[in-house]
Amino acid sequence: MFWARRLMTLCILRQVSSWSHEPAPNDAPQPARIAVIGGGIGGTATAYFLQQHFGDDLVLDLYEHQAVGGRLAVLDIAGHTYEVGGSVIHPDNRYMVEFAEKFGLPKKEHCSDSLFGLFNGEKYVFRESSWSLMNIAKLMWRYGTDLIRLRSELKEILRKFSRIYHLQAEGQAFSNVRALLHALDPSFVEMTHVSVRNWLKKLGCQDLIIDELVTAVTNCNYGQTADVHAFVGAIAVAGADPNLWAVTGGNKRVPEELLKHSRATLLRRKVEEIGLNEGGGFIVTSMEAETSEDGERHSLNNNVDNTEKDLRPQIYDLVVVAAPLTKDKSSIKFVNFTKEFTFPGYYQKIFCTMVQGKLRPESVKLAEGDTIDEILVTNTSLIFNSIGKQSPTEANCSEQYPDVWKIFSGSSLGEERLNTFFEERESLHQVEWLAYPHYKSDQQLGDFELHPGLYHLNAMEWAGSAMEMSSIGAKNVALLALKHWLEDPAAGKMEVQKDEL
């Protein structure tokens, strides 16, 4: 009965839609009706860029059945908020920098006295000191010219990658990830087909720096080894920059401001289906989300009565899916298309455990009174990927805050393990993320354009998952949508003002 009613509803909508797409001779052009599915940094940036390019000729809906911000999230602990999702931004991330400046979001104060170490499970192969010249000398002693070689190569990669901002300002857009990377430099495509280990060895780097420094940052940033492809490995290593920053109050403030300035209508609904409409455009079918006691939004129970009552189809000219499409991350069905969409790959599961308490020094091979704020692991067989002392998102370095530690691990840490690490615990919170793709050394890259007028922003993540990568993908699909709507491949070049993005 349910499917019969649903089929009847869709048939009626298609018929009505076909009538609505037969304009009278004197009809004025109608604004574009666009749906963005997903309210993370990518979806909200897409909505913002669409508003920039389409202006008032736009009716924009953004679907998000959970919290706006997606994998950017904070947690309240002891009266302060702490990052539990994407927590750092590179200084060369131009869109993220400009978003923060445009929306008046100050950078979190950087406390320069935090120290880190590289830990192999038995000892620290490197420990930072408060003397910068001493740190340079220790690193050079251990890794030699490989350190200079690695830094020089990363600098060149960042220089080449920055070409994307000029290309997008000129209105250039790409239908797939491979074409985008190739336009920046053909070597970027080659890097997605070789592991970061083999890429660095080809550059002349020795195993020591790969097994320790590179493995530690790929393990911390992506929960994976130096077997990831070289392009995402380079992004991981760039994440070790000492000038990384975050937004005061939490990085999730950026997508919240992007959504507000996009003037999109936020629909607290979970998209179940995207269909090709016979009259033109697409039918997006969604289910209302309900608010639980913790204030989070969830889809309604999937029983016949609720589903039958709550399903709502809506017609759009263009649709952007700003959410992962893999077997483990999406339940969206695609119907009535001439080809079947397949989305390979899966996402890496990561557990973020936040503990307010006192760390046992001996559990991480420290002597009583030793000072270390972040431990990066070079041995991927250990039960944790990193341990770091956290400061609140609104931190002032002159103030004292409770000891709060963040532990990244590939599996849940039980009571017994936590008691090994901590002699005192005031509070415990655990967040399970499907945080980023599981990368291969020979990576398959996806398409931004699934069908004319239907786009998948998160294809960008298979080159590398980061806030800036999502923002670049958002700009790209906004440009693709504009060109398709205007039927003008040259559309999208913008006059950039000093006070604008």
Based on the fold, state whether residues 373 and 232 are members of the same structural domain.
yes
The span from the CA of 95 to the CA of 92, in Å, is 9
Based on the fold, state whether residues 350 and 336 are members of the same structural domain.
no
Q: How many domains are there within the chain? A: 2
User: With contact defined as beta carbons under 8 Å apart, do 386 and 375 qualify?
Assistant: yes
Structure confidence at residue 14 (pLDDT): 42
Based on the fold, state whether residues 334 and 376 are members of the same structural domain.
no
Question: Hey, which residues does 430 pair with through a beta bridge?
Answer: 353
DSSP 131-186: -HHHHHHHHHHHHTHHHHHHHHHHHHHHHHHTHHHHHHHTT---SBHHHHHHHH-H
Residue 263 lies in a domain: yes
Which tokens is 179 given? 């074409």
Which tokens is 383 given? 């039960």
Residue 208 lies in a domain: yes
Give the domain extent around 41: 2-22+31-70+252-341+443-486
Residue 95 lies in a domain: no
How many angstroms from the chain centroid is the CA of residue 493?
26
User: Is residue 41 within a helix (H) or strand (E), and if so which, with residue range?
Assistant: helix 41-54
Q: What is the CATH number of the domain that holds 159?
A: 3.90.660
Structure confidence at residue 307 (pLDDT): 47
Residue 81 lies in a domain: no
- In the predicted model, residues of the chain with pLDDT beneath 50 are 1-25, 292-307, 497-501
Model confidence over 174-214: pLDDT tens digits? 999 999 999 999 999 999 999 999 999 999 999 999 999 99
Structure confidence at residue 112 (pLDDT): 64
Based on the fold, state whether residues 264 and 330 are members of the same structural domain.
yes
467-486 vs 41-54: helix crossing angle, rounded to 10:
40
Burial of 318 (0-12, 13-18, 19+ CB in 10 A): buried
Structure confidence at residue 464 (pLDDT): 97
Based on the fold, state whether residues 259 and 304 are members of the same structural domain.
yes
Residue 307 lies in a domain: yes
- Count of CB atoms within 10 A of residue 62's CB? 25
Given 413, 437, 461, which residue is the final one in a domain?
437
User: With contact defined as beta carbons under 8 Å apart, do 298 and 292 qualify?
Assistant: yes
* Contacts (Cβ under 8 Å, ≥6 apart) of 500: 102
Based on the fold, state whether residues 118 and 224 are members of the same structural domain.
yes
Based on the fold, state whether residues 281 and 408 are members of the same structural domain.
no
Based on the fold, state whether residues 416 and 317 are members of the same structural domain.
no
Based on the fold, state whether residues 321 and 390 are members of the same structural domain.
no
Residue 379 lies in a domain: yes
Question: Do the strands 297-299 and 269-276 form a parallel or antiparallel pair, or are they unpaired?
Answer: unpaired
- Count of CB atoms within 10 A of residue 87's CB? 21
Residue 84 lies in a domain: no
Based on the fold, state whether residues 458 and 480 are members of the same structural domain.
yes
The span from the CA of 387 to the CA of 116, in Å, is 10
Based on the fold, state whether residues 335 and 464 are members of the same structural domain.
yes
Q: Which of 38, 238, 248, 216 has the alpha carbon at shortest distance from 156? A: 238
Based on the fold, state whether residues 316 and 411 are members of the same structural domain.
no
Model confidence over 60-104: pLDDT tens digits? 999 999 999 999 999 999 999 999 999 999 999 999 999 999 999
Q: What is the CATH number of the domain that holds 463?
A: 3.50.50.60
Burial of 95 (0-12, 13-18, 19+ CB in 10 A): buried
Long-range contacts of 469-472 (CB under 8 A, 24+ apart): 469/235, 470/40, 470/41, 470/42, 470/45, 471/41, 471/42, 471/45, 471/93, 471/95, 471/96, 471/99, 472/95, 472/164, 472/168
Residue 383 lies in a domain: yes
The span from the CA of 192 to the CA of 443, in Å, is 6
User: With contact defined as beta carbons under 8 Å apart, do 171 and 478 qualify?
Assistant: no
